[in-house]
Amino acid sequence: MDPGGPESQHPEQNALMQRIGGQWAGPTLQKSFQHEVADLLGRGRNTSFPGAQPVSFSSEHIQELKSQDYYVCEKTDGLRYLLYLTQDGDRDIHYFIDRRNDYWYVPNLHFPHHEDKTFRRFHTGTILDGELVEDKYPDREPVIKFLVFDCLVLDHVVFMQRPLDKRLAYFQTHVLQPYNAMFKQHPEYTRPFVLEDKHNEFSYALEKMFKEVIPKVKQMHGNDGLIFTCRDASYKMGTDPHILKWKPPSENTVDFLLRIEWARMEPDPEDPDQSMQTDFYSFPEKFALFIHVGNNEYSYIDDMYVEPQEWEEWKTLNHALQDIIVECYQDELQRWRFHRFRHDKENANHIKVFKSVIRSIQSHVTEQDLLNHAPEIRTAWKLRADQEKRRQEDEKRRRQAAVKPEG
């Protein structure tokens, strides 16, 4: 592995990636794949990470859940990846694409084509969106899974303009079902992880999410909220206003760039030529937090409050602390506090994301608020479904009348 590559920079991510045999593509091959994916998606020269990013849930989004059909799933506390299925000559190869737009080759993967019962043919020109997690169980060994929640492209056919339920249906019938059939017929085959679809509910099934789904997944791989995705909206690369990320108000977080400032030591009076030196052994004077404002520019927002014990723990970590992305939350005194280091991210949140999170914190939409609105969300959904059913029936009658032979 390249010592200057991402393997040495993101220890949390790479611990899981190494367990599935993931290997960084390297700068040259990675750049080639980035252009290949951009061409596949029709993005021209835009080779940035093509994944959609949610917006933080705030009070006005409750009305949106009533006016449009949304699906809801639990917000997994995992590692976000796109999975790129392609080929090298006559063999299939597979790469995970992380949010830093690094490409990771994963060996021993095979996704048989749905039209080939022998499992020899395979999918290529395919991009799936999902999260890599480790499910833990009290009575057996943990299992690494890739939970798929969207399908951008399948066999070079772009699906991003189609409704979400159609995109997921193609994934289930064309990718997941033959994949499971292959392992059922050949249980001796090994695989680096288990492939599953991420289960969605109608947006009004909130009581089930809070009382059944979330308590279960918290024990398995962790959870930090809900994700609402609009059924009829296209998949949008970058910030997508139709993907809503809800967290309990106390758990809303922002990813900042951390810049640490230490005290300066006075020069030795016996050495007049010595200049002031940074006192790296002291507790820092400032933990400054910066937000991304575009290009490579950052804007100072506030300082992070850090306890001395936290600082002592950080110093024992085997990674740099300066200019790292740090996820923070606001405590009851409205101080920004440390939540975790984000080794999987290259940039802090954009200023627009920051403002969205602040609105979410100020809106203070609680679990009970969502539960209170669930009946109205359900009524509005059912009304739209009934109207669509009548529209289809009317259209069917019109078509039948148009072809009916004259008496």
**pLDDT at residue 150, rounded to an integer:** 97
Provide the sign of the torsion angle of the four alpha carbons 77, 73, 152, 142, taken in this order.
Answer: positive
Percent of the chain predicted with pLDDT > 90? 77
Instruction: Print burial letters for 333-363: b (CB count within 10 Å at least 16), e (below 16).
Output: eeebebeebbbbbbebbbbebbebbbbbbeb
List the catalytic residue out of 31, 75, 355, 404. Answer: 75
Average pLDDT of the segment spanning 321-350 = 92
127 vs 38: CA distance, rounded Å: 11
44 vs 285: CA distance, rounded Å: 46
Residue range 107-128, pLDDT digits in tens: 999 999 999 999 999 999 999 9
Q: Is the pLDDT of residue 191 over 50?
A: yes
404 vs 378: CA distance, rounded Å: 39
> Cα dist. 386→231, 270, 324 in Å?
16, 88, 51
The pLDDT mean for the chain works out to 91
Q: Is the pLDDT of residue 218 over 90?
A: no
Please give the residue that has the higher pLDDT: either 289 or 400.
289
Q: Is the pLDDT of residue 1 over 50?
A: no
Q: Is the pLDDT of residue 8 over 90?
A: no
The mean-pLDDT minimum among 10-19, 151-160, 357-366 falls in: 10-19
**pLDDT at residue 374, rounded to an integer:** 98
β-strand pairing of 194-197 with 143-154: parallel
Q: Is the pLDDT of residue 383 over 70?
A: yes
Q: Is the pLDDT of residue 3 over 60?
A: no
pTM: 0.84
Average pLDDT of the segment spanning 234-259 = 93
Residue range 342-377, pLDDT digits in tens: 988 889 999 999 998 998 888 889 999 999 999 999
The mean-pLDDT minimum among 6-15, 91-100, 113-122, 354-363 falls in: 6-15
Question: Given the structure tokens 């008496």, which residue do they identify?
Answer: 407
The mean-pLDDT minimum among 81-85, 303-307, 330-334 falls in: 330-334
Q: Is the pLDDT of residue 9 over 60?
A: no
Q: Which two tokens mark 292?
A: 């991304």
Q: For residue 83, give the H/E element and its range.
A: strand 79-88
Q: Is 70 left (phi over 0), alpha (psi -120 to 50) or beta?
A: beta
Residue 327 DSSP label: E
Instruction: Report the SS3 class of residue 13.
Output: helix
Residue range 261-311, pLDDT digits in tens: 998 876 666 665 666 678 877 899 999 999 999 888 999 999 999 999 999
Is-catalytic flag, 286? no
The string of DSSP letters for 221-281 reads T-EEEEEEEESSSPP-SEEEEEEEEE--GGG-EEEEEEEEE--EEPPPTT-TTPPPEE-TT
**pLDDT at residue 229, rounded to an integer:** 98
**pLDDT at residue 343, rounded to an integer:** 86
Q: Which two tokens mark 195?
A: 């492939």
Domains and CATH numbers, the chain: 15-250 (3.30.470.30), 253-363 (2.40.50.140)
